[in-house]
Structure formats: structure tokens, C-alpha cells
């Protein structure tokens, strides 16, 4: 800040832009709203599961805090792995496809976790292997959802990024609180909360994919 001079000079100062107008302009565009809601609801599912995992591990299953700490590594490792795969596929796979892929992985994970918990006794791996897959799916979709939201209105990139970050935080807090409200000492509230957030994230991801731009050469010949 003190040594390197700013090289990007504004072309004109222009009038002051009311931030509220920027918010309205962005949120009135359905694709932008779908991108930021997808990332927000995915964060809600992640934080709900992360909130449930310490109680279920230490209180419900009677495992030690140290054991829980080791199992919790599944979450950050999954997210980093998803980010790594996303970076390798960047430019070769469309962002809408990556967002949908992450959403579908969430759905498959929630169905698998719910089936195992309902049909057998809960174990730590029933919490943390799905936790790894949830985090992996978030790592796949989140960077692409952020890029897609900014791409909708490049001139409002800063505002778009701020709205996206806000929705990730508020959805994470809301679904964590919802889990706490529903918690009854069993694993079922985690299933309900994560499933609800996952369904909303999938709906937003599906809309993003359905409204993607198709190349001109993909049109049917007449």
C-alpha cells in the first residue's frame, strides 16, 4: 500500500452509485440469485452437519474429544480436494456443469447417509465420510458459483462478491441454528436440516444449469 503505486486509473470519476441500487440490480437477475443462493444453501448444509458432528460424536456415541478432532479432518480435506479438482477442470468444464455436479453430489450424499442411519446403528464414519463428500461437493461448486455470480454483472463484481459472501454466512448461521432448534439427542435432526438445505441448493444449481448459454453451433439444423 505504501510502496506500490496504483496503476489502474478510473476513466472518469462519475456520479456516486447508491449501493442499494446495485443490490436491487443484481438480485433482480434470476441467474445471479440462483448462483449466490446455491452457494449459500450449500454452506447451510455444510455448517449444519459441522454443527451436529461434535454432539453426535462425543455425546451420542461417547467418543473422546481427541477422536472427534481427528475425524473432523475429513471436512477440510474434503473441501481442499474438491477445490483441487475444480481448479484442474477449470476452463474445460462449464461453470454451470460444475455447480450442478457439486449439487448432485450433495443429494447423493444425503440420501446415502440417511439410508445408512435409518437402517443401522450410527458410527463416526456415517457422519464424517458424508462430511468429506459434502465438503468435496462444496469445493467443486463454490468457486464456480462465485465466478458465475460475478460474470452476470462484471461492472458490479465487488457488490456481487459481497452478496455471495453474505449469503454463505447467513445461510450457514441459519441452518446451524435450525439444527440447534430441532436437536433432540438423536441424529435425525441433522438429516432433516441437511436434507432441506441440500434440496434448496440443488434446485438453485439445476436452474443455473438449465439457463446456461448454449453455443450457436449446438442449435438443431432445420
Per-residue pLDDT reduced to its tens digit, 33-81: 999 999 999 999 999 999 999 999 999 999 999 999 999 999 999 999 9
Q: Exposure of 56 by Cβ count < 10 A (0-12 exposed, 13-18 middle, 19+ buried)?
A: buried
Which 3 state secondary structure label does DSSP give 120?
coil
pLDDT, average across residues 106-133: 95
pLDDT higher than threshold 70 for residue 218: no
Taking a C-beta distance cutoff of 8 angstroms, is the pair 100, 158 a contact? no
DSSP 91: T
* pLDDT for res 22: 84
- The dihedrals phi and psi of 93, each to the nearest 5 degrees, come to -120, 135
pLDDT single digits (tens) 139-189: 999 999 999 999 988 888 888 899 999 999 999 999 999 999 999 999 999
Secondary structure (DSSP) of 167-193: HHHHHHHHHHHHHHHH--SSSHHHHHH
In the structure, what pLDDT confidence band is assigned to residue 10 with cuts at 50, 70 and 90? Answer: low
pLDDT higher than threshold 50 for residue 91: yes
Separation CA 41–CA 52 (nearest Å)? 17
pLDDT, average across residues 93-100: 92
Q: What is the pTM of this model?
A: 0.85
Cell readout for 46 is 455444510
HSE-up (13 A, CA, CB side) for residue 209: 17
Taking a C-beta distance cutoff of 8 angstroms, is the pair 103, 137 a contact? yes
Cell readout for 174 is 441459519
* pLDDT for res 213: 78
The residue ranking higher by pLDDT, 27 or 173, is 173
Which 3 state secondary structure label does DSSP give 216?
helix
* Average pLDDT across the chain, whole number: 89
Q: Is the dihedral of CA 38, 44, 46, 47 positive or negative?
A: positive
In the structure, what pLDDT confidence band is assigned to residue 31 with cuts at 50, 70 and 90? Answer: very high
pLDDT higher than threshold 80 for residue 19: no
User: Which positions ≥6 away from 81 have C-beta within 8 Å?
Assistant: 136, 139
pLDDT higher than threshold 50 for residue 1: yes
pLDDT higher than threshold 90 for residue 204: yes
* Number of other residues whose CB lies within 10 A of the CB of residue 111: 12
Amino acid at each position: 500500500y505504501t510502496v506500490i503505486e496504483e496503476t489502474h486509473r478510473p476513466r472518469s470519476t462519475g456520479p456516486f452509485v447508491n449501493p442499494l441500487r446495485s443490490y436491487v440490480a443484481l438480485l433482480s437477475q434470476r441467474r445471479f440469485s440462483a448462483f449466490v443462493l446455491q452457494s449459500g444453501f450449500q454452506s447451510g448444509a455444510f455448517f449444519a452437519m459441522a454443527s451436529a458432528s461434535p454432539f453426535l460424536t462425543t455425546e451420542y456415541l461417547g467418543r473422546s474429544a481427541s477422536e472427534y478432532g481427528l475425524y473432523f479432518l475429513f471436512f477440510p480435506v474434503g473441501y481442499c480436494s474438491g477445490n483441487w479438482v475444480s481448479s484442474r477442470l477449470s476452463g474445460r468444464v462449464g461453470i454451470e456443469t460444475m455447480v450442478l455436479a457439486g449439487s448432485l453430489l450433495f443429494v447423493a450424499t444425503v440420501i446415502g447417509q440417511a439410508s445408512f442411519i435409518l437402517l443401522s446403528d450410527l458410527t463416526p464414519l456415517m457422519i464424517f465420510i458424508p462430511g468429506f463428500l459434502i465438503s468435496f461437493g462444496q469445493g467443486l461448486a463454490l468457486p464456480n458459483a462465485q465466478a458465475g455470480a460475478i460474470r452476470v454483472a462484471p461492472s458490479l463484481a465487488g457488490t456481487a462478491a459481497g452478496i455471495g459472501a453474505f449469503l454463505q454466512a447467513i445461510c450457514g448461521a441459519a441452518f446451524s441454528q435450525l439444527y440447534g432448534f430441532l436437536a433432540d439427542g438423536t441424529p435425525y435432526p441433522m438429516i432433516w436440516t441437511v436434507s432441506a438445505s441440500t434440496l434448496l441448493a440443488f434446485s438453485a444449481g439445476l436452474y443455473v444449469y438449465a439457463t446456461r448459454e448454449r453455443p450457436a453451433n449446438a442449435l438443431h439444423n432445420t
